[in-house]
Amino acid sequence: MEEEDHQKVSDLIKELVLRLLSQKPTSDSQPIDSNSTDFANSLRYAFRILSSRMTPSIAPDAAAIAESIKRRLATQGKSSEALTFADLYSKFASKTGPGSVNNKWAVLYLLKIIAHDKNSARTQLLDSSVLLPNLSDSRVSSRKQNGWENGVLLVSKDPENRREIAFREFVNFVKEENEVREEVLVRDVLYACQGIDGKYVKFDKTADGYVLSDLVKAPRATRIMVRKLCELGWLFRKVKGYISESMDRFPAEDVGTVGQAFCAALQDELSDYYKLLAVLEAQSMNPIPLVSEKVSSENYLSLRRLSVWFAEPMVKMRLMAVLVDKCRVLRGGAMAGAIHLHAQHGDPLVHEFMRRLLRRVCSPLFEMVRSWVLEGELEDIFAEFFVVGQPVKAESLWRDGYRLHAGMLPSFISQSLAQRILRTGKSINFLRVCCEDRGWADTATEAAAAAGTTTRRGSLGYGETDALESLVDEAAKRIDKHLLDVMHIQYKFKEHCLAIKRYLLLGQGDFVQYLMDIVGPELSEPANTISTFKLAGLLETAIRSSNAQYDDPDILDRLRVKMMPHGTGDRGWDVFSLEYDARVPLDTVFTESVMARYLKIFNFLWKLRRVEHGLIGAWKTMKPNCITSHSFNKLQQAVKLQLLSTLRRCQVLWVDMNHFVTNLQYYIMFEVLEVSWSNFLSEMEVAKDLDDLLAAHEKYLHSIVEKSLLGERSQTLCKSLFVLFDLILRFRSHADRLYEGIHELQARTMESSLPSRDKSKSRRQLGDKSSDPGSWIGEGRKALTQRAGEFLRNMGLDLDAIAKEYSSLLEGFISQLPVQQHVDLKFLLFRLDFTEFYTRSGPSL
């Protein structure tokens, strides 16, 4: 069947060619034979034309072609013909059913081409001609002379313009075989800008870009223009690839909500880009007019016009590609900050584009800020926020629970603002978790109203830095005030600080004195034999026997006895201490490290008070009325003088030690503790937030540590001081032994002057010590005098050794005071050496 149809078409073409040749006049007027060479050449040429690939370069749109014809007639000044054509086309288009033309656009296209070719023929320099085989044998020689091997016949007439049509189609065919028309290149460029390979413009992975095939013959300028225009397609592929890759990975942590918002913003920009391409594709449907045609308003698209259309999209797409490369490894606040840096641009177009983009990108980030500042909620699933939380115990929530992540802090939020944001949300969490308070919710609502915003989502955005700062400032001011009110009123922070000062820093004098009196005997025992329960009972007794009993029961309940770790040979004095139980939320201020420093101060003050207590006890033993000089009248004069000399040296050494301890005690209690406490109260009153309160307390505690010689820079001085304390306690032991021996000598001297009956009675009263080895009782007067002289001589030597060692240690201690960093330690030197006694007695001072 197909062979029969093919044969019919072939016969029809032969008949048509034969008729065309028969209608053309020849020189000899001979009929054309179907077997002639000319007929064969003409038939072959006809088959070549009919089997060629010449097709219209426009889409089959009848309405568009009709509109183009009507505009062409109007621009040529043929308005009446344009109206007539419009009327005829409306009738032609409305006719449907049997007998109507289905392929209406082809008919209109044919009419347009014919009219176009007739108009173009009038402007050509050459006469109307057609390339046909020569029908006359008489022109063969002439053809050879002119070099026309295939035969060229100049015909002066062509009434139906058929030869012109054939010539035009042949020229277009040859042109298409060798060159690409600009309309086709425009269409391929538009495809490339959408990331799609065209017929001639394709993406080359080696060149990493869209290129025009080397097989296509095109001018160098055209190739350069195509390459420049296709840069937009290369940028589009980069941006589109990033969006697709990120969305495929979401909800991965390296994308996050900020990255998702960035992709959504890019996709919106690409949507506007798609709309532009759709408009340009519609314009590309209209053919590009020839130079000879007069065009005033026809809408068409060429490569140069396309470059003008692409100017603004190219700027935006380049910027988006740069942002994509910059943000590929970033996320969260770091991504927002990197994009913000590109917004600092002088071009209004770029500036507005970046602001629009950043509003979308920063939306999740500002929502995190709003939620953190007003609700204390850390909605950060993908670790994008510049506030980072970690699970900690309640007492560590304020210090260690939250911190700033500098890497996620965007550049449009300052460090000070970030600190206020951190503290505000941290305050809400502290109130909620540690203080079990719910009053912060109303405070946050008031803060939002005062800042002129709301607590709803989306109330903040990029570019509203002033509104953000206003909201943060109002929220911080109100929530911090509420937190301080809770700490001072509900949890009595000031009262607890005062209790620690009174009991751990030994500010409650009557309580400390009574406690030291009743626990002294117990603490003189080895540390491993002391009962903590017994000491707790003695503490309770000291509280009830002093003004401490009138304190708040909650405060007294927190005061407890603590025995520090001890080793072999330690006494109770060395390990005894008091501790204060600071519960939540006070343990945020009184942490373990803070209480360890309080314990260090307590041990120092307790040792100082013990030394002072020892000197007071020694003074009670040394009171003048305890020893009556008439009791020693019967002793030898030498022994009597030796006794008085030893007593005097003991009292002088006591006075010297007491002067040092009293002035040191005064310095610690008034120059250090009271001054530091007064400054602490002043700073406590002006504290605006919990950080200020913590800083004030830290400053108060640091001041006490440094001024009390317990700082790192005063370690050598502190060791010298503790050696002095041990020497004074050793002096107390020697003084007790001296006066114990003197009392025993006094009793023996008085006994020697009594009758025998009274001597027995006196021995019974003294516990019959005559049998004790080394006892003076029961010995004769001569032996008594000898033993007394030996005892006083040994005690004198011991006191001289203690006095010498004390002078040396005191001189070393005082010599170190002027070189201390803290100025108050220099005032300690002034108090100790007010009369310049040590300066005159020690040349080194």
How high is the pLDDT of residue 449?
A: 77
pLDDT at 496 over 80: yes
SS3 80: helix
Q: Which two tokens stand for residue 11?
A: 């016969």
* Confidence band of 590 (pLDDT split at 50, 70, 90): very high
Lowest mean pLDDT among 541-550, 640-649, 687-696, 774-783: 774-783
As given in the structure block, the two tokens for residue 417 are: 């603002």
Across 119-133, 142-156, 524-538, the highest mean pLDDT is recorded for 524-538
List, for residues 241-259, the tens digit of each pLDDT value.
Answer: 999 888 887 776 677 889 8
Residue 122 has a pLDDT of 47
Say yes or no to pLDDT of 275 above 50: yes
| Token pair recorded at residue 95 | 């006719």
Which of 41, 26, 28, 34 lies closest to 131 in space, CA to CA? Answer: 41
The sign one gets for the Cα dihedral 381, 386, 387, 390 is: positive
Q: How many CA atoms lie within 13 A of 320 on its CB side?
A: 32
Q: How far is CA 836 from the centre of its chain?
A: 60
Q: Say if residue 359's pLDDT is above 60.
A: yes
Residue with tokens 């065009």, as numbered in its chain:
295
321 to each of 189, 294, 342, how far by Cα in Å?
19, 41, 12
Higher-confidence position of 639 and 294: 639
Strands 209-212 and 201-204 come out as antiparallel
Residues shown for the chain:
845
Least confident of 183-187, 209-213, 751-755: 751-755
Higher per-residue pLDDT: 384 or 57: 384
- pLDDT band, residue 595 (cuts 50/70/90): very high
**Phi/psi of residue 580, nearest 5 degrees:** -125, 125
Residues contacting 313, CB < 8 A, separation 6+ = 232, 273, 276
Which of the two residues, 106 and 53, has the higher pLDDT score? 106
Q: Is the pLDDT of residue 109 over 70?
A: yes
547's tokens = 């003004």
Mean pLDDT of 2-18: 74
For range 610-633, the mean pLDDT: 72
Q: Is the pLDDT of residue 814 over 50?
A: yes
Write down the pLDDT at residue 146: 42
Within 13 Å, how many C-alpha atoms sit on residue 774's CB side? 3
pLDDT of 487 reads 93
Residue 266's pLDDT band, with cuts at 50, 70 and 90, is very high
Is 2 a residue whose pLDDT tops 90?
Answer: no
- Rounded Cα–Cα distance for residues 120 and 165 (Å): 10
Answer yes or no: is pLDDT of 161 > 70. Answer: no
- Which parts of 250-347 fold into alpha helices (H)? 256-284, 303-309, 311-327, 332-341
Residue 553 preceded by cis peptide, ω within 30? no
Range list of H helices, 451-591: 465-485, 493-503, 509-523, 532-544, 553-558, 572-575
Question: Is the per-residue pLDDT at 13 higher than 50?
Answer: yes
pLDDT of residue 138: 37
Pairwise pLDDT comparison (394 vs 165), residue with the higher score: 394
Q: Provide the pLDDT for residue 310.
A: 93
Residue 58 confidence (pLDDT): 54
What percent of the chain clears pLDDT 90, i.e. is strictly above it? 29
Per-residue model confidence (pLDDT) at position 130: 35
pLDDT digits (tens, 9 = 90+) for 363-374: 889 889 888 988
Q: What is the mean pLDDT of residues 658-681?
A: 92
Ranges 6-10, 57-61, 624-628, 828-832: which has the least confidence: 624-628
Q: Of 819 and 689, which is predicted with more confidence?
A: 689
**Amino acid 134: pLDDT:** 37
- Whether 520 contacts 613, CB under 8 Å: yes
> Of residues 799 and 140, which shows the higher confidence score?
799
Q: What is the mean pLDDT of the chain?
A: 80
The pLDDT, as a whole number, for residue 62 is 77
Phi, psi of 88 (to 5 degrees): -65, -40
pLDDT at 434 over 70: yes
Q: For 238-241, which contacts have Cβ atoms below 8 Å and span 24 or more sequence positions?
A: 238/321, 238/324, 238/325, 239/266, 239/270, 239/317, 239/320, 239/321, 239/324, 240/195, 240/270
pLDDT, residue 173, reads: 57
Mode of pairing for the β-strands spanning 201-204 and 402-404: unpaired
Question: Could you tell me the pLDDT band of residue 756, with boundaries at 50, 70 and 90?
Answer: low
Dump pLDDT digits (tens) for 32-47: 666 777 778 777 777 7
Q: Does pLDDT of 99 surpass 70? A: no
Residue of 172, 261, 718 lying closest to 458 (CA atoms): 261
Closest C-alpha to 231, from 204, 281, 193: 193
- The predicted pLDDT at position 832 comes to 80
**Three-state DSSP class for 300?**
coil
Would you place residue 785 in the very low, low, confident or very high pLDDT band (cuts 50, 70, 90)? confident
Residue 430 has pLDDT above 70, yes or no: yes
Q: How confident is the model at residue 631 (pLDDT cuts 50, 70, 90)?
A: low
Confidence band (pLDDT; 50, 70, 90) for 794? confident
Show contacts of 299-306: CB within 8 Å, 24+ apart. Answer: 301/186, 302/182, 302/186, 303/182, 303/185, 303/186, 303/189, 303/222, 303/225, 303/226, 303/229, 304/225, 306/186, 306/189, 306/190, 306/229, 306/280
What does the pLDDT read at residue 152? 40
Minimum mean pLDDT among 101-115, 179-193, 410-424, 434-448: which range? 101-115
Confidence check: pLDDT of 61 > 50 = yes
What was the pLDDT predicted at 144?
41
Residue 130 DSSP class: B
User: Are the CB atoms for 14 and 44 separated by under 8 Å?
Assistant: no
pLDDT bin (cut points 50, 70, 90) of residue 169 is low
pLDDT of amino acid 557: 92
Nearest to 813 by CA among 689, 722, 692: 722
pLDDT digits (tens, 9 = 90+) for 521-577: 888 888 888 888 999 999 999 999 999 999 999 999 999 999 888 777 788 888 899
Q: What is the mean pLDDT of residues 446-451?
A: 76
Q: What is the mean pLDDT of residues 819-827?
A: 73
Q: For residue 211, give the DSSP letter.
A: E
**What integer is the mean pLDDT of 484-505?**
93
Identify the band that residue 155 occupies on the pLDDT scale cut at 50, 70 and 90: very low
- Model confidence at 792: pLDDT above 50: yes
Are 482 and 392 in contact by the 8 Å Cβ rule? The answer is: no
pLDDT at 588: 92
Mean pLDDT over residues 508-531, rounded? 89
Higher pLDDT, 844 or 216: 216
